[in-house]
Every structure is written in structure tokens, then in C-alpha cells.
Chain A
Amino acid sequence: MRSTDARARTLIASSMLSVLLFSGVAMAQAAEARSEDSPFIMMCCLGPLLLISLGFAVFGILWAVFYPIMFLYAVIFSERNLNRMMSDLVLRERASIDHFGKDPLSTLKGDHIVGGIKETGLVYANVVYSPSHWQLLIAWINQLFGGRIDVLHRVISAGRAEAKQRLREQAQAAGWDDVLNVRIDTAEMTPASKPKGTRAVEVFAYGTGIKFG
């Protein structure tokens, strides 16, 4: 179902592209047949390119207008948003600990369980979290002096706590009593070859949910 969908989309995109190209070439040839040095040929060949560059120009102007506004917003609100999210997390953590009676996550393998296990299954949760550009600027200034970079530490630990809390909530939703062998992976979204891309980290937490027998 999904693969046929993707195939149809690819087919439509490629056919549109080829129609565009062929019509451009055909019109250029027709124009060439009529006269040698008409500006019409240039228009036909450069038309699509001009359209694309117009699109880029519009996007660039919009970006130049929006970036300072968003940056100002980040300067004013990013710290407050982080604090609010952390205090929210504390409440959610307390709620799920109340539900389970203890913190359900552990890195143990399950050998310590005496009563026996009725059912097992995989449980996982992820979150993509990013510092704001204002926080990145502060971090860059801190890097000049070296030492502890508190801003980034707080952002990343907030993301990790969020992923753990989502794992607890997933376990609660699936009806597990406990989550064993929890692993937490951190992957960066920005590849090293493209350092100007989105600066974000992905935190992925997974474990084995169990039901006591």
C-alpha cells in the first residue's frame, strides 16, 4: 500500500519533470528553426531556472525577515520555556511513579525477579530536542573560555529526561509492570558533512516491558 503510493508519487514527479524539460527543448528547437538569434530560445532554456531562482529569492527574503524575529523570541523566551518544561516533567514523573509504585525503568536483566514473568515485549520512545540559536550563541562564547558549558548540558538533560518520561508513559499505556534492560541512545541529527543543518539531538530510549506472573 505504502510502497505503491511512493511509487506513484515518484512517477508523477519524474513525468512532470520530463514534460518540463522536453517542452523546453522542443520550444527552443522550434524557435531555432524560425530564426537564429532570437531571445525566445534563451527564455525557453532559462525559464525553469529563472522560476527556481525566483523561488529561492522569495525564500531568502522571508528568511531574512523572519530570522531576527524568531531570534528575538528565542532570546526572551527560550530560558523560560526550558524551565517550564522541566517543572512540567517533574510533575509527570511524579504521576507515573505514583502509578507504578516506584520508578519502573531499570538496567537490570531480570535475573533478580523471583515470582516469574507472564509476558514480555519491546517498549520504546524517542524525542528530537534542540537548543535555540540564542543558547548556541551563549555556548559558543562559553567555549572560548572553556570549562563547563551549562546551557547545553541543561538542554540535553532535559531532552533525555523527556525521552525517559515518554518511555514510562508508553509502558503505562501498554500495561507493563516494569521495564528492564533500558538503553538510552543519543544520535545527532546534524551530519558532520553538513555542519550548517538543523542542530538537534535525538534521544531514543528502549527497554523490555514485563508483566509479573
Chain B
Amino acid sequence: MSSALIMQHIRDGIMVVNTETIAGKVITQNLGVVGGSTVRAKHVGKDIFAGLKNIVGGELKAYTELLEESRTEAIARMVADAAARGANAIVNVRFATSSVAGGASELFAYGTAVTVE
């Protein structure tokens, strides 16, 4: 999923990095903060299974998968926002997580949309 996302970025021509600058390039224009967020939950069956797995301990695969999917979606929305502003890179990307309710979680990705040369 992650590598597919990277392919998507390359197709859109938008570079996403979490450093403040892109090495070898010069930032010519600042287009403001862009962000994307999503709230997602697994269905009840997976929640119950994760609850059972929690007794034994170890990795809870259902929740790992859930957060991975939501983060991918949040990044895709952020990239769409940046593309709408005509940016060709997003720098200094940060992530934030909050749990709204029991099984649901909100993922938020934000960064600065810029044009680089």
C-alpha cells in the first residue's frame, strides 16, 4: 500500500518530505499549510477479535491495518489539497493522532505546500 502511494506521488509530481528543505532544490514560493484528515473504524467483528488478541498480547494486526489505511488516505487528501493549490512539493510533514471513540481514530497529516525548482 505504501509503495503504491509513493507511485501516486510520483504520478502527481508532488514530492512529500518531512525535512524543512529539499536537498538540491530551492523553494521559490510558499503556498500555505495543507492538511488532510480521516476518521475510520473497523467493523465490530474485528474489534471483538482484537479484544481477544489483547488478552494474549502482541501485535493487533486489525488496528495496525486500520491506522495504515487511514494514514494513507490522510496523506492522499493532503496531496490533493496541495495539487489544488498548484504546489509541486510538500515539506515538513507532521502527523497527529487522536482517538475520537472506542474503535475509531482520527489521523491528521499536515505540511507546508511549496513550489521548488
Contact = CB atoms under 8 A, between A and B. Distances in A.
A66 interface: yes
Contacts of A200: 54, 60, 63
Task: Kindly state the interface size class of chain B when it binds its partner.
Answer: 35 or more
Nearest to B100: A191
Contacts of A185: 95, 97
B3 A181 contact: no
Interface stretch (B20-28, B29-37, B80-88): B20-28
Interface in B81-115: 93, 95, 97, 99, 101-102, 105
Given A122-B93, A127-B59, A133 B54 contact: yes
Given A127-B59, A127-B64, A185-B95, A208 B17 contact: yes
B61 to A, nearest CB: 8
B19 A116 contact: no
A207 B18 contact: yes
Contact of B58 (A129, A134, A202, A213): A129
B56 A70 contact: yes
A123 B5 CA distance: 10
Question: Secondary structure at chain A's binding surface: helix, strand, loop or mixed?
Answer: mixed
Interface residues of A, number: 61
Contacts of A198: 50-51, 54, 60, 63
Contacts of B2: 123-125, 170, 173-174
A132 interface: yes
Contact of B57 (A67, A81, A180, A183): A81
A78 B3 contact: no
A43 to B, nearest CB: 27
B99 A191 contact: yes
A74 interface: yes
Contacts of A188: 99
Nearest to A181: B19
A73 B56 contact: yes
Contacts of A208: 17-19
Contacts of A70: 52, 55-56
Given A187-B97, A198-B51, A120 B60 contact: no
Nearest to B10: A121
Given A70-B56, A135-B57, A187-B97, A128 B3 contact: no
Contacts of A105: none
Nearest to B73: A2
Contacts of B3: 170, 173-174
Interface of B: 2-3, 6, 9-10, 15-20, 22-24, 48, 50-61, 63-64, 67-68, 71, 75, 93, 95, 97, 99, 101-102, 105
Closest 5 CB pairs of A and B: A132-B57, A128-B63, A117-B23, A70-B55, A187-B97
12 contacts: A59-B48, A70-B55, A121-B9, A121-B17, A123-B2, A124-B2, A127-B64, A128-B59, A159-B59, A181-B18, A187-B97, A206-B18
